[in-house]
Chains A and B, each alone.
Chain A
Amino acid sequence: MIKSDRTFFLRPQDMIGIAILAFLLIVILPLSLDNFRLQFVGKYLTYAFVALGLVLCWGYAGILSLGQGVFFGLGGYCMAMFLKLESSSVEATKIQTTPGIPDFMDWNQITELPYMWQPFNSLTLTIIAVILVPALFAFIVGFAMFKRRVGGVYFAIITQALAAIMTILIIGQQGYTGGINGITDLRTLNGWDIRSDSAKTILYFVCVALLLACILIAYFVKSSKLGRILVAMRDKEDRVRFSGYDVANFKVFVFCLAASLSAIGGAMFTLQVGFMSPSFVGIVPSIEMVIYAAVGGRLSILGAIYGTLLVNWAKTSFSESFPELWLFGLGGLFIAVVLIFPNGIAGLWQTYIAPRLGPLFGGAATRRASPPATPPAPPSPSAAAPAAAE
């Protein structure tokens, strides 16, 4: 009677998809790329956390946020504050007027560590802050907006304004935030030098592990009833409300979750790249992050990861050879996605490729078409290769 009867939150095709992605990130890329290029991938993957959050928030729940850079930045700044304090020991900063505080504070005539910075002496508190500060901020914004039933384009514009405000605030409060330069010259994490090649490789794998964990969280949310309520809300918000749900609470939840995911990405960005600046917070990076999710497919958790990797890879290659053309390329890409393939790469995959690969990859067509035998084996001996190439 009911086929859609799942007890575990991952379907077989989800598990295969996650396994292929994990294989690609843990084995194929580290083996085929040199250290320099692998660090680039590590940096791209930090944006994938944001794209993942956008899939839940924008793709599933239909809440377009053009200010995810704010949360990426908050996570990144929390981590940067900890690292900065560690590299601003009294011995390292003894030439300053006030030794023991970050250099940019000294330049701005600040003579003691501001209260806001105090908690970031502790790594534990920092990790908690990375996750909770953006979630709390998202909660305040989301609660204020969604309880008043602000949504759609108005919400998008307000989040964009937040991104602008946040940039201005960071730049303006130079003594507390490092201003336009950001927080730079980060060296060690609890005494461990994060600038060495080996540290960067380890951080790459930490980033991959965290991303895979976040992907599992996203799948869990997606497959729970909450995930279906998000989809239902996107379609018929009033129907959900008149089915006894307080719609705003669900929107606040998914917005906070997306914020926390973005912040984890931001913190990993700081660790891998070694600095944080307002240029990752503002409107332009926030919109770029939306494009990653759109290109990958805003309805696909894994698609958004591939989209992030591809767009960033294209960005790096293009800006190496034609730096001034890249923005046009990005704009063109976005238009192409909207006009030609609205569900992004994942949509193309599901329409054209998955049906040929059989039911394990989510191809429903073959399930009906070939009754007795398994679908014809691909000519290539390794079935995973074409999938991984995607």
Chain B
Amino acid sequence: MNSAVIADTMNKDFVLAVEGLTVSFDGFKAVNDLSFYVDENEIRVIIGPNGAGKTTVLDLICGRTKATTGSIRFKERELTKMKEHEIVRAGVGRKFQNPSIYEDLTVFENLEISYPKGRSVPGALTFRRDRAVKERVQEIAETIFLADQLDQRAEYLSHGQKQWLEIGMLLIQDPELLMLDEPVAGMSVSERKKTAELLNTIIKNRSVIVIEHDMKFVEDIAHKVTVLHQGKILSEGSMAKVQADPKVIEVYLGH
């Protein structure tokens, strides 16, 4: 199967190509010789039991953790040698597991900081809140259901709203690759439904990697599922194929 995948990669332009990726922490290989490819406009969901290395994979892609060996190519650029902010500027956005927003700032200011302009020190000093910025913030706020909360301090938002705000902060950067770490964890049923709806509107024109535990949610959104186990790929393919894989049932779904 591996050779088939590689043959397949030769004649296609992948947005993200991860090859032979390994990271070891004091000898423990959290991610072990991992290879996978993400297509343009694809939603890829990564599942796996706790400690499988899912979050570590995202950390490696966005530069938070440095790879021991292997390569991560994003649109022909090698990410493993770039700094975090350079990776973001290249077009990779990352949402963290816990809502990571600026509690002391308003919703508007949260979104504005993520607006991709004035990212240097002089740029930030001279940044003007012009019409383009306001319109873009307004547009994103409507997408993430927070248009009437723009002047609210972010700390007063509910858990679900904070998750949406962080997704909005990524959207305003307009990344070509969006990575979401458990976007519906801790959400109520109705919030979860709205989030699925949100994800379906924002995936247009970009590739998305999602880590998620909620199988119902995964079924709703995934184009392709990658199952990780002990830092290695256990199975990959459509949700139906993965669910039928005896190895997957053994280590994960069967529990």
Contacts and interface: CB of A to CB of B under 8 A. Distances in A.
A243 B169 contact: yes
Contacts of B147: 1
A385 B120 CA distance: 43
A235 B88 contact: no
B62 interface: yes
A226 to B, nearest CB: 4
B102 A235 contact: yes
Given A1-B138, A231-B105, A235-B102, A240 B121 contact: no
Contact of B96 (A4, A239, A253): A239
A244 B124 CA distance: 12
B150 A236 contact: no
A236 B102 contact: yes
Interface string B78-106: 00000111001100011010001111111
Contact of A241 (B84, B109, B150, B169): B84
B88 A244 contact: yes
Interface string A212-244: 000000000100111011011011101111111
B150 A2 contact: yes
A238 B96 contact: yes
A246 interface: yes
Contact of A244 (B105, B112, B116): B116
A253 B147 CA distance: 34
Contacts of A1: 138, 147, 150
A362 B102 CA distance: 22
Contacts of A240: 113
Contacts of A2: 108, 134, 137-138, 150-151
B104 A226 contact: no
B112 A225 contact: yes
Contact of A232 (B89, B93, B102, B126): B102
A5 B131 CA distance: 11
Given A242-B88, A243-B113, A244-B173, A5 B129 contact: yes
B118 interface: yes
Contact of B125 (A226, A235, A245, A246): A226
B100 A236 contact: yes
B124 A241 contact: no
A271 to B, nearest CB: 30
A245 B85 contact: yes
A385 B90 CA distance: 56
Nearest to B148: A1
A244 B101 CA distance: 15
A3 interface: yes
Contacts of A242: 62, 64, 84-85, 88, 93-94, 96
A244 B151 contact: no
Contacts, number: 98
A240 B103 CA distance: 13
- Counting chain B residues whose Cβ lies within 8 A of the other chain, the interface size class is 35 or more
A1 B112 CA distance: 15
B210 to A, nearest CB: 17
B119 interface: yes
B217 interface: no
B222 to A, nearest CB: 24
B125 A224 contact: yes
A55 to B, nearest CB: 15
Contacts of B129: 5-6
B114 interface: yes
Contacts of A231: 102, 104-105
Interface in B170-209: 173
B127 interface: yes
Contacts of B118: 225
A253 B120 CA distance: 11
Contacts of A239: 96, 100-102, 166, 169
A249 interface: yes
Interface string B123-167: 011110100001001100000000100110000000000000010
Interface in A280-307: none
Given A225-B118, A239-B102, A232 B113 contact: yes
A226 B150 contact: no
Nearest to B118: A225
Nearest to B179: A242
A241 B85 contact: yes
B120 to A, nearest CB: 7
A250 interface: yes
Nearest to A239: B100
A1 B96 CA distance: 29
Nearest to A299: B104
Interface string B42-76: 00000000000000000000101000000000000
Given A240-B113, A243-B113, A228 B121 contact: no
B124 A225 contact: yes
A242 B61 CA distance: 12
A4 B113 contact: no
A243 B84 CA distance: 9
Sorted from nearest, which 4 A-B pairs have the closest CB atoms? A244-B88, A226-B124, A225-B127, A232-B102
Given A226-B127, A235-B103, A250-B121, 9 more contacts: A221-B125, A225-B112, A225-B125, A231-B105, A235-B104, A239-B166, A245-B85, A249-B120, A249-B121
14 contacts: A4-B106, A4-B108, A5-B129, A224-B125, A225-B127, A226-B125, A228-B109, A232-B113, A235-B103, A235-B104, A238-B64, A242-B62, A249-B120, A249-B121
